[in-house]
Amino acid sequence: MTGSDLSDSIPETALGWHREGKGAVLATVIETWGSAPRRVGAQLAISGAGEIEGSVSGGCVEGAVIVEALEALEEGAARELEFGVSDGDAFAVGLACGGTIRVLVEPVGSVLPEALLADLCAARAARAPVAYVVDLDTGARRLERDGFETRFRMDRSGFEEDSRTFVAIHNPPLRLIVVGAVHIAQALVPMARIAGYDPAIVDPRETFGAQARFPGETLLNDWPDEAVEQLGLDSRTALVLLTHDPKLDDPALTLALRSGCFYIGALGSTRTHAKRVARMQEAGFSEAEIARIHGPVGLDIGAAGPSEIAVSILAEMTGVLRKGA
């Protein structure tokens, strides 16, 4: 993932260290060439006491970054660093060959205002996608919630074209809500987890929605509309309906069509989907709203069996996320 996301707590850690009076610095990968160990947007927090969280290189240059960060903290000034990662160091962190990375070092308080970092952390806590924008020539820093549509969709931090303006994308983690604890769900949930989603399964039928069928996963044995409302639907959430039963699928579907979730998929044949469309029309949804439903669910890859259907669903979700509907 090329942006930062809430699977880490690096900005929050830096804010905490600063408020504790230890001093804190955020180091961010702003550019890479070749096989750099970390992607653009990767971060490392360093406290004035030398504590660290995160990584900018998988261990190759962390020592040098920490030294520079502590000096920058004393000076109260930002630094731009450039490192070449040797082939030997690259091999040690699992890469075939070396590369080059540039790292921006920002002391909290003197360079990165505490209030701005606090606003960034608040947006992350609220699952609100936010971009941290810094002009490296003027030193101006701000947060943006609008614009940068492609960057948000692609989780792509980086420099704006022909400029010294760096945009760090902070997206909430991806989530998948599956309604219907059926065989396809048993295949889809672990696949989605590997792909970076935090899944939740909803099924009021406790025989289906049993922990033994989904070991270690989040299971809600509630009515789907109640469960989906509790979980919430936002721009980083996908909803997949697998029950085949309008009594279970439709309450969740009506909530989804009024939400900003990025993907809605519903299992069923073309004929079943036509009936679903008719029900949604009767419920007052517009043609454009109903067109958000991907039904029959998944890419048409000739899938046979639950596992292949799960592959087709995850592929379609990815396409919608990265390329738009």
pLDDT tens-place string over residues 246-301: 999 999 999 999 999 999 999 999 999 999 999 999 999 999 999 999 999 999 99
Res 90: pLDDT: 54
Same domain membership, residue 191 and residue 133: no
Given 133, 148, 171, the domain boundary residue is: 171
Same domain, 66 and 199: no
The confidence score (pLDDT) of residue 137 equals: 95
- Predicted local confidence at residue 130, as pLDDT: 97
pLDDT at 2 over 50: no
pLDDT class of 91 with cuts at 50, 70, 90: low
- Residues 127-138 have pLDDT tens digits of 999 999 999 999
What pLDDT does residue 295 have? 94
Give me the pLDDT at residue 54, please.
93
Please give the Cα distance from 168 to 187 (Å, whole number). 34
Domain encompassing residue 185: 174-323
Could you tell me which of 54, 53, 58, 131 has the C-alpha nearest to residue 92? 58
Q: Please report the pLDDT score of residue 128 as a whole number.
A: 92
Residue 4 has pLDDT above 60, yes or no: no
Place 62 in a pLDDT band, splitting at 50, 70 and 90.
Answer: confident
Q: Do residues 135 and 182 share a domain? A: no
Each residue's pLDDT tens digit, 26-36: 999 999 877 66
Domain count within the chain: 2
Q: Are residues 9 and 53 in the same domain?
A: yes
Q: Do 187 and 107 share a structural domain?
A: no
Same domain? For 149 and 282 the reply is no
Q: Are residues 188 and 309 in the same domain?
A: yes
SS3 letters for the chain?
A: CCCEECCCCHHHHHHHHHHCCCCEEEEEEEEEEECCCCCCCCEEEEECCCCEEECCCCCCCHHHHHHHHHHHHHHCCCEEEEEEECHHHHHHCCCCCCEEEEEEEEEECCCECHHHHHHHHHHHHCCCCEEEEEECCCCCEEEECCCCHHHHHHCCCEECCCCCEEEEEEECCEEEEEECCCHHHHHHHHHHHHCCEEEEEECCCCCCCCCCCCCCCEEECCCHHHHHHHHCCCCCEEEEECCCCHHHHHHHHHHHHCCCCCEEEECCCHHHHHHHHHHHHHCCCCHHHHCCEECCCCCCCCCCCHHHHHHHHHHHHHHHHHHCC
In Å, what is the CA distance from 171 to each residue of 7, 99, 149, 234? 10, 26, 12, 12
Q: What pLDDT does residue 3 have?
A: 52
- pLDDT, tens digit, 9 for 90 and up, residues 139-179: 999 999 999 988 998 899 999 998 999 999 999 999 999 99
Same domain, 132 and 247: no
CA 294 to chain centre: 22
Is pLDDT of 244 > 90?
no
Question: What sign does the dihedral 279-281-287-288 (CA atoms) show?
Answer: negative
Looking at the structure, tell me whether residues 151 and 280 fall in a common domain. no
Q: Report the percentage of the chain scoring pLDDT > 90.
A: 82
pTM of the model as a whole: 0.82
What is the model's pLDDT at position 36?
Answer: 63
User: Are residues 183 and 166 part of one domain?
Assistant: no
Residues 134 and 188 grouped into a single domain:
no
pLDDT at 60 over 80: no
Judged against a pLDDT cut of 70, whether residue 86 lies above it is answered with no
Of 171, 203, 227, the residue at which a domain comes to its end is 171
pLDDT at 1 (0 to 100): 38
Look over the chain and give the mean of its residue pLDDT values, rounded to a whole number.
91
- Check residue 87 and give its pLDDT: 61
**Angle, CA 17 vertex, CA 16 and CA 18 arms, to 5°:** 90
Measured distance CA(321)–CA(264) in Å, rounded: 11
* Domain co-membership, 166 together with 200: no
Residue 201, domain CATH: 3.40.50.720
From 117, 148, 171, give the residue that closes a domain. 171
Give the model's confidence band at 6: pLDDT under 50 very low, under 70 low, under 90 confident, else very high: very low
